[in-house]
Structure 1
Amino acid sequence: MNRWFEAKGENSDVVISSRVRLARNLTKYNFSHKLKNKDAKQMVDDTLMKFEKMSEFENYNSYNFENLDQFQKIAMLERHVISPFLTNQSIAAGLVSPDENISIMLNEEDHIRIQAFVAGSDMETAYKNADIIDDSLSNVVEYAYNSKYGYLTTCPSNVGTGMRASYMLHLPALSGTNKLNGLAAEIGRFGLTIRCIYGEGTRGLGDIYQISNQVTLGFSESEIIDNLSNIVYQIVQQERTARRQYISRKRVSAEDVVYRSYGVLKYSRKISIKDAMALLSELRMGLEQGLLKVTAKHGFTIYSIMIGIQPANLQLIAERELTEEEIDIERAKFIRENLPLIQ
């Protein structure tokens, strides 16, 4: 079964994924940051046991941090199965669907975090999938809910629907022309925020960015999704325009960059994460713009390679701890083995 990041969806030339995350807390316990270890363990163990007994999750994989080493946790983070916050928790557990598009985290910033991914721009389906899970869980646990304020959450900005919606975008043209700083200020006026997925600064590794809502109180789920989707659609059009303008002015140079990127990726024996992400970003744009064509491979996407070359996932494949140089060697090998041939 293909995982969500091994598939393409609507507007996938720019939009990598749509994600909905729901924050929920239980009436029986204090918020996670106020839980003592004994209570946190009881909350995690009891809740996980209830969820594992539900027929809806009979095909899901469950995990408990008691049984995972640090590399396994980080590898799950690299695949977006769990959050950075959960990675730093000593007591945590959860459930993951076979294609990893649905994840339920226990003892995150809130007691329960539900997240649903869909490839491409399809926020409605992401929300529908998360909502179905949310309704199922509410049958076996009691959520902390106030008739005036909505779902009660650790962070005040999540109170209300408890929903954060986000799109993951590939924006090489906009980031390459230094337009993202102005864009960040502009979308902030609409209650949205933009951040790098990999790395920090104005231009993240691989030119991958996440745009999400900041406030949930006072807005319905549909209002949050509509506002976010309308803004993201405009950004998608801006990125496409910037790509077309670049190629129309410098087509030969653009083709040269793409073919060089492919050559380095296909034949390198050692490559750093910084260089690999930059080259994969250039290759992804070239493929999406038709500057280069490759033989179709089942489940192949550039983003699946970007995830696969992250350090912890490479060490899981190797089944041992690797030195920094060995990671660079394994990264080059992974790319060679997974990059399709030019048509």
Structure 2
Amino acid sequence: MRNATSRILTGTLAGTLMIAAGGAQADRSEWPESFTVGTASQGGTYFVYGSGWANLIADELGVSGGGEVTGGPTQNLALVHGGDVAFGLATMGPASDAVSGKSPLAPGVAMDNVCALFPMYETPFSITALSGSGITSISDIPDGARVGFGPAASTSDTYFPAILEELGVDFDRRNGGWSDLGGQLQDGLIDVIAFAAGIPIPAVSQLEVQTDVNIIEFTEEEQATVLENFPVSEFQIPASTYETLEEDARAVSMWNFSIAGCDLPEDFVYEVTKLTMENNDRMRDVHRSAATSIPENIKYNTVLPFHPGAVRWYEENGYEIPDAQQL
């Protein structure tokens, strides 16, 4: 594997600087002086989750870092692989495409410098429209409807158009950040937003405060069709997620994992993994979707190898990583 460390690590951090309790015994001689987490657009869960996680790492481990707005999982995979960011957030569908050389951003390039760290949460695919539109089901979406699919090349933009096409929806495709699309929906510039994001989606919660919306579920038949044709799982959006919902809403979902450059220092990644996995209460303070950011869910990564630093923490704590998923 080629070495991209020189583009990630901008210096070393002396052990005499601020030493967080969790990493007091770690060898910091090869640690980065700073790091960046690739997230997604503002108004989406990735941005909130990734920025909050970056701040937790920076505060506790004494390394300068933060979240960066990106186009989402597909771009994050390319940025991590190329060494342009140290960490990122990714969905398993785009991750599978990336490692097999099918990323739309780099066709034919097998992204082999991307390793998994820990499970985040499931990304439900959900649809929101204004109540005044009269759209209460997928079959109600009129021909030629203007549908916002999130940032270009995001998980939503990669899979949701194909899902709606499979379900017989004819639409005019629009892209943009989630907050921007929420504003366009409220202003009548688009008709529907097809979200693929961790819940609660900040843009939807904001819309609920400002106007009346319909959160549209899949019918049983629609769900079965999507499960048969796409790499997704069954999901129920709990009624407690949004004020608008009166009962759980049927959906489909993909798992998300945090990712890292495989050539990041093992000790550094070990401490990042330890901090994250041993402080789920603090992760839930970042975003409540982190309730599933627990080591028991590592089984949902069947695509990427785990970083050696992450493997060390899991195995020390009784979680087995198959040999096939180790470097």
**Does the pair score TM above 0.5?**
no
More strand by share: 2
TM-score by length of 1: 0.28
TM-score by length of 2: 0.29
Structure ID, larger Rg: 1
